[in-house]
Homo-oligomer: A and B are copies of this chain.
Amino acid sequence: MLGLRSLVSRAAGFAVLLGLLAPAAAEGADPLPSWNEGPARQAIVAFVERVTKPGGPDFVAPPERIAVFDNDGTLWSEQPMYVQLAFVLDRVQALAPQHPDWKEKEPFASALRGDLAGVAASGEHGLLELMMATHAGNTSEEFAKIVTDWLATARHPKLARPYTECVYQPMLELLAYLRANGFKTFIVSGGGIEFMRPFTERVYGVPPEQVIGSSIQTRYELRGGKPAIVRLPAVDFVDDEAGKPVGIHKFVGRRPLLAFGNSDGDFEMLEWTTSGPGSRLGLLLHHDDGEREVAYDRTSIFGKLARGLDEGPGRGWILVGMKRDWKRVFPD
């Protein structure tokens, strides 16, 4: 005879087979094995237990469990430069034969020499020129293929592996842990929305409709009789700093319960999130591990973190120290 307990257990097993329950939740295995015991991990687990406890004072219904994550420096490495900037430099090389004038013309000449300082010297306008020359003019489907092909072959200059393997293992676990607890996980990045969407589902388990990022304008038109979304050389939206709450509001329409970033570009996203009513959690990853990754904060070109270090703790935000809080950094 099967007792009730056995039946429930088998029913749960059956549900797992159907993919209806997360195995970790059903089995009780540690959902965050790459996180050391300590205040950061404790704060995360306590928060999730608070907002998911039925009947508890901080309970939040599943549809309202929204968690937002920055990408560069939060979910994957942003050193020695943003991955998308490495993509831009490679695209300039690939497109150079069609643009012989680039050899003499800044910022393209510097980009072709791999001279980052020269590129930087061209200022924001120069960077924008590089972006438009490499990101616009094609259709959304063509661009997605270019990104996918590039990610399949490009390698991180120091870690010598695909960029999609330069993601942080503890963050993959946190994303899965939140989803197993009914959260919808969103990426909210200053990076290009169409640069991220081709890989976020496979790598992070975040589908394209849960990716928010900077964008260029697009237009719907018939190209050779075939409908296409064409990418135009004009900025549509910059999803950084005060743009992040605006992007969250536009795409999600609800204030998140949890926000996780690593730079001052994430400050307003954490501020917006943690100033909502009820229980909220703001987290900042502090890159303090020069051995396993790169130690940087206040003076870094990419991912500068100063205001967050100064004001974050006073606002109740949790500083996650890579050195102290993470057992390992990258997936094996």
User: When each residue 208-228 of chain A gets 1 if its CB lies under 8 Å from chain B and 0 otherwise, what string results?
Assistant: 111100010011110000110
By CB atoms of chain B within 10 A, which of A14, A193, A201, A210 has the most? Answer: A14
A72 to B: closest C-beta gap in Å:
19
Contact B15 A63 (CB under 8 A): no
A318 to B: closest C-beta gap in Å:
19
Q: A227-B272, A229-B245 are in contact. Are A250 and B208 (CB under 8 A)?
A: no
Say which residue of B10, B20, B226, B254 sits within 8 Å of A7 (CB atoms).
Answer: B10
Q: CB of A268 within 8 A of chain B?
A: yes
Chain B residues, CB < 8 A from A275: 226-227
Q: CB of A233 within 8 A of chain B?
A: no
Say which residue of B1, B194, B209, B252 sits within 8 Å of A208 (CB atoms).
Answer: B252
Q: CB of A246 within 8 A of chain B?
A: yes
Chain B residues, CB < 8 A from A272: 220, 227
Contact A140 B184 (CB under 8 A): no
Say which residue of B209, B218, B220, B226 sits within 8 Å of A254 (CB atoms).
Answer: B209
Complex Cα spacing A15 to B275, Å: 37
Q: CB of A8 within 8 A of chain B?
A: yes
Contact B220 A268 (CB under 8 A): yes
Contact A63 B201 (CB under 8 A): yes
How many residues on A have C-beta within 8 angstroms of the other chain's C-beta atoms? 46
Complex Cα spacing A208 to B186, Å: 14
Chain B residues, CB < 8 A from A218: 246, 249-250
Q: CB of A126 within 8 A of chain B?
A: no
Chain B residues, CB < 8 A from A194: 253
Contact B229 A193 (CB under 8 A): no
Chain B residues, CB < 8 A from A172: none
Q: CB of A18 within 8 A of chain B?
A: yes
A residues 1-34 in Cβ contact with B at 8 Å: 1-2, 7-8, 10-11, 14-15, 18, 20-21
User: When each residue 171-188 of chain A gets 1 if its CB lies under 8 Å from chain B and 0 otherwise, what string results?
Assistant: 000000000000010000
Contact A209 B252 (CB under 8 A): yes
Chain B residues, CB < 8 A from A249: 140, 218, 229
A249 to B: closest C-beta gap in Å:
5
Name the 9 nearest CB pairs between A and B, nearest first.
A208-B253, A11-B14, A11-B11, A220-B242, A220-B245, A20-B20, A209-B252, A197-B253, A229-B249
6 inter-chain pairs at a CB distance below 8 angstroms, sorted by A residue, are A7-B14, A20-B20, A63-B207, A193-B250, A208-B252, A209-B253
Chain A: residues with CB nearer than 8 A to chain B?
A: 1-2, 7-8, 10-11, 14-15, 18, 20-21, 63, 66, 140, 184, 193-194, 197, 201, 207-211, 215, 218-221, 226-227, 229, 242-243, 245-246, 249-254, 268, 271-272, 275
